Amino acid sequence: MEFSIIQYSKFMTLLNMLIHNLKTLHMSLEDSIKWLGEVMAEIGPTHSQKCEQCNVFDIKQANAIIDYLKISLFQHYKLYEFMFFSAREEIVIGTEQVIEVVRPTGSPFPDPLEEGISFDIYSTFTEPPPTLDTEMKGLDQEQRPEESQPETDTSDVDPLVGFTIEDVKSVLGQVTEGILMGIQTEINEKLQIQEEAFNARIEKLKKA
């Protein structure tokens, strides 16, 4: 229609007011058509003031605007009402979930404190069942209680008889040093494994 800038502004204001009446004021189709007729006739919705939205259009332009609104907004009025007032279910096209499975009982390092469980739950549901060798040893101990008596008798003998204090210190020093070295090596290995696991988690969180 070769509208001027002022006419474009008035036309967009008219469209905005029609959508506002539908979305905010819940105006019906009949009321919207009546309101549009009053505006196009230069009479405001309150019937008390002159409407300045459409007074820049001539009759031909006003008819073209009404025809446009008829085939766009008014023809699909029910669709606009459904879009603004009806709750719609959100359709999930796709989703991605990261699931961490339970590590085996022979894990090189324990779970963090926030993932810890009580001993009762662990012993009931998590602790592996006793093996056949353990059960056979328990049966042997129950069937032969007499064999433990000689061991009790021999336990009264001092195992350090014949050794000097220096010998005992030397043996204890070697044993302690070996144990400490083994523990330190094991701790370093566990710390390294745990550090690698934390780094892997951090990388996974960055990717997410």
**pLDDT for 47:** 44
Kind and range of the H or E run holding 143: helix 132-143
Q: Could you tell me which of 64, 83, 65 has the C-alpha nearest to residue 19?
A: 83
Dihedral of the alpha carbons of 20, 22, 25, 30, in degrees to the nearest 10? 130
User: So what's the pLDDT on residue 43?
Assistant: 41
Torsion, CA 144, CA 145, CA 151, CA 153, rounded to 10: -140
Look up residue 25 and give its two tokens.
């004021």
Whether 143 is covered by a domain: the verdict is: no
The whole-number pLDDT of residue 62 equals: 84
Give the Å distances, CA to CA, from 24 to 85, 94, 135, 193. Answer: 10, 33, 78, 60
pLDDT for the residue 94? 78
pLDDT tens, the chain, 208 aa long:
888 898 888 889 999 999 999 989 889 999 999 998 888 876 434 444 455 544 677 888 888 888 999 999 999 999 998 888 887 777 777 777 777 666 666 666 555 555 566 667 766 776 666 666 655 666 666 566 555 555 555 556 666 666 777 877 787 788 788 788 888 888 888 888 988 888 888 888 888 7
Domain membership flag for residue 156: no
Q: Tell me which of 65, 85, 105 is where a domain ends.
A: 85
pLDDT at residue 17, as a whole number: 92
Let me know if residue 181 belongs to a domain.
yes
Give CA–CA dist 127/106, Å, rounded.
11
Domain total of the chain = 2
The confidence score (pLDDT) of residue 16 equals 93
Q: What is the pLDDT of residue 105?
A: 65
Supply the pLDDT for residue 54. 44
Considering the domain boundaries, does residue 145 fall inside one?
no
**Considering 61, 85, 109, which residue would you say is the last residue of a domain?**
85
C-beta separation of 54 from 42 below 8 A: yes
pLDDT at 127 (0 to 100)? 66
Tokens representing 149 are 């008596």
Q: Is residue 114 part of a domain?
A: no
Could you say which of 62, 85, 108 is where a domain stops?
Answer: 85
pLDDT of residue 4: 87
Q: Residue 168: inside a domain, yes or no?
A: yes
Please give the pLDDT value at position 107: 63
pLDDT the model gives residue 118 = 67
Q: Which residue range(s) make up the domain with 27?
A: 5-44+53-85
Sign (positive/negative) of CA torsion 65, 67, 68, 74? Answer: positive
Q: Using an 8 Å Cβ cutoff, are 38 and 47 in contact?
A: yes
In a domain, 125, yes or no: no
Is residue 122 domain-resident?
Answer: no
- For residue 84, how many C-alpha atoms fall within 13 Å in the half-sphere facing its CB? 16
